[in-house]
Structure 1
């Protein structure tokens, strides 16, 4: 009877001989049954969505070939520049322009720049950023880059970024006197801002020297004064009637004379600064091109601050003129007044021209002021900037 239990149905087989052979039969059958159940369970599990293995994408032959191309031994690390509006730009080693046709942004080394730091590298400070220039009949004019950078951001002078008493000193008239321009560039500390007269000579030469020396730069544009035309700022003076009508050719002529500047400063221009209808298009042009405007502080009737705030234009105004009297003692007194203003309100801006007495007085005073805990900063550091990002 026991032997019949191990016979396949419908078949007559010889009896199984021996106890050992009969005992192996049930063990083998049970093992097979367990194996079949386990295999079925695994297959069922693998068919579930959560357990399905990820599909393997085929590799195109061109990709295989590209992986075999060796990187050049001297390749410089790329730069990953975080953009203010989100995202990033892969740029070349000096961070000055986006790379083109870089198939894989993760190849090579990546150096992450400080977010929001768009300042031009000091090694290239004397060269204009091509992405921030618009070629016109008046020459290259500053313009916002397609990536959102402004000349104000890129050409801004360096400073500590800390609090404390801060003073900006702007020395203008560079390009008018060759000896004065040379002394200003060579002798004034890097924190002093240099303003170049649009009607001056050898401007590109002095601009490059100043930028190599670490100076921030402004353009000094002639604007209509009271008493025009008997009192004139030059043949390319921006007149009130033209500015109010949006005719800015004279301004554009001045702006095309140099590059690498953070903004425009008035030369004369008391009447234009007092006329909101003329200031509106002018300051709108500054804002559109990513520049600041510095009012030299010579006109008590200026409306530039209010119009700049309404236009969202980066703006600064000088607190006093340092060298209205060119006597060394008078210049020293004005610098002391400037320091008292800065200690009272935290910051102050003074303007001067590139006269010998002014350069001597400012150079010596700056050296002594540093020992009293005063930092000389570029004028952009003290400008009100509605687009400033922390």
Structure 2
């Protein structure tokens, strides 16, 4: 068909396009199917890159868990020492008072201390506030004369009669007949409260002398603390402290930081201490950088001692100065001799328990710590059933800390 017999307008776009390509020299370039496929993939990659730049969702795709917390926390998105949009440092006035906290939620990205996995944690505000009946119906109330009211809620204190929370909430030390000289072992399970299932597993399987350390963020943390106390377990509050890779590794809201002043950290600590009541002391949650700084850790340990509490170091950081500071200030203190599930396999957990036994026989007393991993709880629960027959006595954590102070 020649140009005279062809329908009008059919060939003009093709001829014009051919002339345009000819000017660019592209009409001589052969295009193979592989090249066409590569071009399509390039377009797809470009589209994804454009979407990533345009969409503001840095945590997209990460697992989420919803965890309740009580009113009174500072805005986790506006931490102390942050800067404004012009780069100027803002004044830090501490977390807002409980009554001033609006309804809503806080979202942070934390590392689960038990699994090591990163999680986006949404912490809804409870309008009832700390100490509300909805949160504490099943929890034994703290002794009122051992509580001090602060703008964040009630926190522990030494009573006017000299009574200390570390003794008032301690489990009575019961040594079986004929076992007065038997080697003693204290165990602490950490990371409880966030996972109700893990906490219930520990409550069901572990005997009363085993002490429980709770983080302040759990959905029903005060009910779980109440159940633990009713079952005879001593309770510790785990205070989130700055690790070396903070903020990539974030323990959670109100983390104690080396970049804050002593006053700011103590204010944060009071927020943490108001989350639940009935604990005998404070334990670190992470905190390798924080516990290595005397200027940061010292005021926190002195505040702990001033309020009649013990301090427990979980033994995960060799740089920790907690023992030196506690000794210099006459603060009841205990540091784990063995991290039982440092290598979370059945064989290694059993070997760690063997090392704990050896230290108890050698020194008369030893202290082991484990996280709330199901395997660790299972192995330790099985071990506790045979401990007495093997010549050991299980004791609560205060038996170790109080002895350390008096020795």
**TM-score above 0.5, yes or no:** yes
1:272-305 per-position Cα deviation (integer Å, ceiling 9, x unaligned):
1111111221111011100010011011111111
Instruction: List, as ranges, runs of 4+ consecutive aligned residues in structure 1 with deviation greater than 4 Å.
Output: 384-389
1:221 corresponds, among 239, 252, 256, to: 239
Structure 1 residues 148 and 388, CA gap change in structure 2 (3 angstroms): farther
Structure 1 residues 360 and 279, CA gap change in structure 2 (3 angstroms): same
Q: Does 1:129 align with 2:147?
A: no
Matched residues in 2 for 1:313 and 1:326: separation?
32
Match of 1:359 in 2: 377
2:248 partner SS: coil
Q: Does 1:168 align with 2:167?
A: no
1:357 partner SS: helix
Matches within 5 A, 1:331-370: 331-370=349-388
Match of 2:279 in 1: 261
Contact 1:243 1:281 in 2 (8 A): no
Structure 2 runs not aligned, ≥5 long: 1-137
Matched residues in 2 for 1:223 and 1:243: separation?
14
Matched residues in 2 for 1:224 and 1:296: separation?
14
Structure 1 residues 387 and 298, CA gap change in structure 2 (3 angstroms): closer
1:326 deviation in Å? 2.0
1:242 partner SS: coil
Structure 1 residues 240 and 212, CA gap change in structure 2 (3 angstroms): same
Matched residues in 2 for 1:179 and 1:204: separation?
15
Contact 1:157 1:378 in 2 (8 A): yes
Matches within 5 A, 1:1-390: 126-160=140-174, 162-242=180-260, 244-245=262-263, 247-384=265-402
Structure 1 runs not aligned, ≥5 long: 1-123
1:234-257 per-position Cα deviation (integer Å, ceiling 9, x unaligned):
121111232545641221121111
Structure 1 residues 243 and 265, CA gap change in structure 2 (3 angstroms): farther
Contact 2:139 2:225 in 1 (8 A): no
Contact 1:242 1:248 in 2 (8 A): no
Superposed CA RMSD? 2.0
Structure 1 residues 259 and 152, CA gap change in structure 2 (3 angstroms): same
Matched residues in 1 for 2:316 and 2:265: separation?
25
Structure 1 residues 151 and 125, CA gap change in structure 2 (3 angstroms): farther
TM-score computed with the length of structure 2 as normaliser: 0.62
